[in-house]
Chains A and B, each alone.
Chain A
Amino acid sequence: MVETLSAPRILPSGDSAITVEFSRDIDDGANKRVLALDRTLANEPVPGVTETVPTYRSLLVHYDPLLVDFDTLREKLLALANLPVPPTIKTRRWRIPVVYGGEHGIDLEDVAKTLKTTSDDIVERHVRGDYRVAMIGFTPGWSYLSGLDNSLHMPRRQNPRLLTPAGTISIGGVQTGVQCLAGPSGWHLLGRTAVRTYQLHRDPIFLLEPGDHVTFSPVDAKTFAEQDRAAEGGEIVAELMAA
């Protein structure tokens, strides 16, 4: 069966970037098309395109306006975006250890209260998820995951926190995420991982790629502390599973 693809919206983002938007909402199908266009542009570079940034539902394409003009690039991107989505390339599957609740996940109890259940139940629902890295952004290594259980969808906090810990695992809206560096967040903090998705002087510097699969496994605070020391020393800590 040939799938008919809707044309993406081409939106100007300043005078040297174009947003190719595949959906108005967060949508897994749209994200797959985003990553497919990203791969197409990586495999067959378009002159003038300097950098691409995938997101949940759109691809940001930076370009040098002296090398290619807006109209030409728009036509090229539309043509490439309407190519059939190539079969999914082999992606990696990671298992990321998380210490849930307590001082490591200060919102876990509140989330449980709001959703009228227990903390253990929230953890179980979060661990059960089979997630995919939809995009990385905001701060280095901050990985946005799709695949959050419907029952865990919650609006973001009214008042974002100015500082949340490195390694925070949190939920916000229909998303969950792995945060690498300490920084502001408006999401609900469920736990922490020792895994550094970004670490200088380690190979690779960035652990996760958009499209990678992720699952979580609960660990206790002692294990977290040990893994944190190992990760500080450059160990990856996350498990790479057989595909």
Chain B
Amino acid sequence: MSKLIVSEIGPASSVQDGGRHGAQRYGLTPSGAMDQLALAAANVLVGNTPFAAAIEIGPFGAAFTAREGAVRVAVAGASRNTDISGRAVALDASMTLADGQTLTLGFARGGSFSYLAIEGGITGEPMFGSLAVNARAGLGSPYPRPLQAGDQLQTPPASGAPERRIDLAAPPEGPIRLVMGPQDDEFSEEEKKLFLDSEWKISATSDRMGYRLEGPIIKHLHGHNIVSDGTVSSKPSAWRGRKPRHGTSRNCYAPCPIGCVRSTSLISTSRLSVMLTSRALPSAPSTPEHGRYLRQPTRWPLIKTIRSRKGIQDDHHRSQLRSR
């Protein structure tokens, strides 16, 4: 076995995968990668299954060193300065760290999360079928907590397979797409229009549990002390956008789900810079079309087509093309 040593790492970095499904009825949230598309891209680049466990790296920098053998990795997600022992390398690509070499990632630019997938996956003990870290519930493996400098991840030695890269589409600009409901009838048409037509700023208090948005006051029709079984909630003073990764499985204390972020928009939402900067969001369309959205699921097709994207080409193949 080779090892990947965490030499340096910022907060909000942990092992995540496709998530832990099936126990939401007991209050256990799925966890899993904030940006499932970037997770899948990184995994596929090193030949793993798309939702295998990888290292989710928060907005700050990180460094990883190969020990006791070469380690092949891929990084996808937020844009960052990246180098191997001082030599700049491209993101959204696989790379092999020789024994002793260090991969250094800078601060995230234009996003928050990056994914470092390790060829052969991360060795750990699955809990409810997942290695994803949920620190509050004491779950996650090999460490049930955010990663720290000095942590070691066991991994099979690098295969020596040709390196690959992927041209990921830029995160979509424009409004965050919602499906209104399930409790949008707790708001008047005027309040819903105000909600959809306003610009919202991501609060610095946002985290994996929720993006707190600052903007105009959206009033409930019947007060906020309503029945709690919701998902996206609105407080009298702020709208809380639900991020279903480390969120509460059921409800908040003063919830009123006005709408749910579309799966595809969750991907782009998770790419917004949250922890470092606050940024105004463009306004959302004022006439959401439930039915059309519901018949156009796009998250899974997006992920399922990664393997067949033209963007995936191994460097060996590219150089052959060039030499012709």
On A, residues with C-beta under 8 Å from B are: 11-17, 19, 21, 24-26, 38, 50-58, 60, 62, 64-66, 69-71, 135-142, 155-156, 160, 173, 181, 183-186, 198, 200, 206, 210
B182 near A136: Cβ-Cβ < 8 Å:
no
Interface string of B292-313 (1 = CB under 8 A from A): 0111110111000000000000
A141 near B27: Cβ-Cβ < 8 Å:
yes
- B290 interface hit (Cβ, 8 Å): yes
Contact residues of B: prevailing secondary structure: loop
The winner among A11, A24, A26 for most chain B CB atoms within 10 A is A11
Given known A-B contacts A140-B27, A173-B225, A198-B137, A55 and B300 have beta carbons under 8 A apart: no
Closest 6 CB pairs of A and B: A137-B250, A65-B297, A14-B260, A11-B182, A55-B229, A186-B253
B26 near A206: Cβ-Cβ < 8 Å:
yes
The winner among B248, B290, B296 for most chain A CB atoms within 10 A is B248
Tally B residues with Cβ within 8 Å of A.
43
State A16–B298 Cα separation when bound (angstroms). Answer: 10
Could you say which of B138, B139, B181, B250 contacts A53, with CB atoms under 8 Å apart? B250
Could you say which of B127, B139, B229 contacts A57, with CB atoms under 8 Å apart? B229
On B, residues with C-beta under 8 Å from A are: 21-28, 127, 136-139, 179-183, 225, 227, 229, 231, 248-251, 253-254, 257, 260-263, 290-291, 293-297, 299-301
State A2–B251 Cα separation when bound (angstroms). Answer: 35
Q: Smallest CB-CB separation from B229: which chain A residue?
A: A55
Q: Smallest CB-CB separation from A172: which chain B residue?
A: B253
Given contacts A58-B229, A136-B25, 17 further A-B contacts (CB under 8 A): A12-B260, A14-B262, A52-B25, A53-B25, A137-B27, A137-B249, A138-B27, A139-B137, A140-B26, A140-B28, A140-B137, A142-B27, A160-B253, A185-B253, A198-B27, A198-B137, A206-B23
A138 near B250: Cβ-Cβ < 8 Å:
yes
Chain B nearest CB from A200 CB (Å) reads 6
B250 near A69: Cβ-Cβ < 8 Å:
no
The winner among B28, B253, B295, B296 for most chain A CB atoms within 10 A is B253
State A17–B182 Cα separation when bound (angstroms). Answer: 10
A-side contacts of B257, CB under 8 Å? 13
State A181–B138 Cα separation when bound (angstroms). Answer: 10
B-side contacts of A51, CB under 8 Å? 21-22, 24-25
A-side contacts of B179, CB under 8 Å? 12-15
A13 near B300: Cβ-Cβ < 8 Å:
no
